[in-house]
Amino acid sequence: MEELRQKYLTAIADAADEAALEQIRITALGKKGEVSLKMRELGRMSPEERKIAGPALNALKNELNAALAAKKAALADAALDARLRAEWLDVTLPARPRRQGTVHPISQVTEEVIAIFAEMGFAVAEGPQIETDWYNFDALNIPPHHPARQEFDTFYMHREEGDERPPHVLRTHTSPVQIRAMEQQGAPIRIIAPGRVYRSDYDQTHTPMFHQVEGLAIDKGISMANLKWVLEEFCRAFFEVEEVELRFRASHFPFTEPSAEVDLRCSWQDGQLKVGEGDDWMEILGSGMVHPKVLAAAGVDPAEWQGFAFGIGIDRLAMLKYGIPDLRAFFDSDLRWLSHYGFAALDVPTMRAGLSR
Ligand code: PHE
């Protein structure tokens, strides 16, 4: 009995894995196991012999079972330790920068513009890119056959043969959002509306799809002086310089009276575009005092309310600020261009942390 005990305890201690352990259990305690066969021999013993051998065999059986269970637990612990060692990871190591994707300059500049106007109390409004004739033109005091409709190089949507309604258009400017916002919120109101606009035009500074941000401030006693201050303040913040030179040119828009176009002093040297110096001017926005007919069309009483509106070309701003000479490249999706001019995903512009670094 003592021999059996030594043999199996040693075998259990030496077992390398659970399968070996199970083999030992079967050999010792299985139906035809060595210990089980010994127990069967009890029947042929005399009662005296049985009294001694019986409890001793039972004790052996219990001891081996306990040793098997303990070894099994130890093997499981060792397996877990090995796995933990293999899967160990140093989370204090710096992450590897991937630099696969970048934020497009248009997205970045749009965020910069929003951050600046948010500081001045303007909320963001939006409208559809496929617009009705009414919102894009009529409500903005551009009736059918008005010459201004030609100037916009409008893309018209298709109408079924025989459908006489005026076709929808791809909005030619963000100004229809003025109407939609006033209809929804009434006056007083202070919003900007950034987004895509469309005109059939294509050269170094024009693409058929481009971006504008509309501004609208309606209240009591708003004047052209407020408009001028807001635009100058915006340009200083946007270009991150003390002085930028703006040129207000008297102009005409059907939806503003009086109207002004604003140009920014810049230079083009060896294909490089710089702002604030040189003898060139780049037109960046149209503006003016909102026409009483436009207020009335949006359900705002022009006898009580007045204000200004402007429409800035976002793409032009991006070209000027980041020295990008050709607008067409913006929308080519060339990965080399994107990784050169793009922004890291976490460079979120704010007025406090700085718009760009
Ligand atoms: N909608 C005009 C354009 O696209 C710009 C503008 C907006 C002018 C608001 C005056 C007021 O040219």
Q: Which one of 86, 114, 139 terminates a domain?
A: 86
Structural domain count, the chain: 2
Closest ligand 1 atom to the C-alpha of 178?
A: 9
Is residue 337 one of the residues assigned to a domain? yes
Local confidence band at 357 (pLDDT 50, 70, 90 cut-offs): low
Is residue 94 one of the residues assigned to a domain? no
Is residue 301 one of the residues assigned to a domain? yes
Assess whether pLDDT exceeds 80 at residue 182.
yes
Is residue 97 one of the residues assigned to a domain? no
Assess whether pLDDT exceeds 60 at residue 272.
yes
Q: Which domain holds residue 44?
A: 2-86
Is residue 99 one of the residues assigned to a domain? no
pLDDT of residue 212: 98
Do 285 and 256 touch, CB atoms closer than 8 A?
no
Do 336 and 303 touch, CB atoms closer than 8 A?
no
Helix, strand, or coil here: 337? helix
Q: What is the DSSP string of 57-95?
A: HHHHHHHHHHHHHHHHHHHHHHHHHHHHHHT---TTSPP
Give 308 Cα–ligand 1 centroid separation in angstroms. 11
Q: Which one of 40, 58, 86 terminates a domain?
A: 86
Is residue 98 one of the residues assigned to a domain? no
CA distances from 174 to 36, 134, 237, 281 (A): 92, 14, 22, 23
Is residue 349 one of the residues assigned to a domain? no
Do residue 71 and residue 138 come from a single domain? no
Average pLDDT over residues 10-25: 93
CB distance 309 to ligand 1 below 6 Å: yes
pLDDT of residue 88: 87
Do residue 111 and residue 245 come from a single domain? yes
Average pLDDT over residues 67-86: 93
Average pLDDT over residues 36-44: 88
Residue ID of nearest Cα to ligand 1 atom 10:
287
Is residue 331 one of the residues assigned to a domain? yes
Of the candidates 120, 305, 324, which has an alpha carbon nearest to the alpha carbon of residue 231? 120
CB distance 154 to ligand 1 below 6 Å: no
Give 1 Cα–ligand 1 centroid separation in angstroms. 104
Least confident of 177-191, 212-226, 232-246: 232-246
Q: Among 140-149, 232-241, 265-274, 288-297, which range has the highest average pLDDT? A: 288-297
Assess whether pLDDT exceeds 90 at residue 90.
no
Do residue 109 and residue 54 come from a single domain? no
Give 279 Cα–ligand 1 centroid separation in angstroms. 25
Do residue 180 and residue 271 come from a single domain? yes
Closest ligand 1 atom to the C-alpha of 216?
A: 9
Average pLDDT over residues 72-99: 87
pLDDT of residue 141: 97
Do residue 62 and residue 165 come from a single domain? no
Helix, strand, or coil here: 242? coil
Give 33 Cα–ligand 1 centroid separation in angstroms. 96
Of the candidates 332, 308, 310, which has an alpha carbon nearest to the alpha carbon of residue 106? 332
Give 336 Cα–ligand 1 centroid separation in angstroms. 34
Do residue 132 and residue 240 come from a single domain? yes
Do residue 63 and residue 110 come from a single domain? no
CB distance 141 to ligand 1 below 6 Å: no
State the pTM of this model.
Answer: 0.71
Q: Which one of 35, 53, 86 terminates a domain?
A: 86
Q: In the chain, what percentage of residues exceed pLDDT 90?
A: 66
CB distance 287 to ligand 1 below 6 Å: yes
Do residue 59 and residue 206 come from a single domain? no
Do residue 154 and residue 16 come from a single domain? no
**CATH number of the domain encompassing residue 170:** 3.30.930.10
Do residue 229 and residue 333 come from a single domain? yes
Residue ID of nearest Cα to ligand 1 atom 4:
173
Task: Look up tokens 């018209």; give the residue.
Answer: 156
Do 37 and 4 touch, CB atoms closer than 8 A?
no
CB distance 136 to ligand 1 below 6 Å: no
* φ and ψ of 98, to 5 deg: -100, -40
- Burial annotation 283-303 (CB, 10 A radius, 16+ → b, else e): ebbbbbbbbbebbebbebeee
The angle at the Cα of 181, spanning 175 to 186, to the nearest 5 degrees, equals 130
Helix, strand, or coil here: 117? helix
Give 335 Cα–ligand 1 centroid separation in angstroms. 33
Give 151 Cα–ligand 1 centroid separation in angstroms. 12
Do residue 170 and residue 223 come from a single domain? yes
Assess whether pLDDT exceeds 90 at residue 149.
no
Local confidence band at 73 (pLDDT 50, 70, 90 cut-offs): very high
Do residue 81 and residue 156 come from a single domain? no
Q: What is the DSSP string of 172-216?
A: SSSTHHHHHHHHHH-SSEEEEEEEEEE-S--BTTB-SEEEEEEEE
Assess whether pLDDT exceeds 60 at residue 246.
yes
pLDDT of residue 99: 65
* φ and ψ of 326, to 5 deg: -125, 120
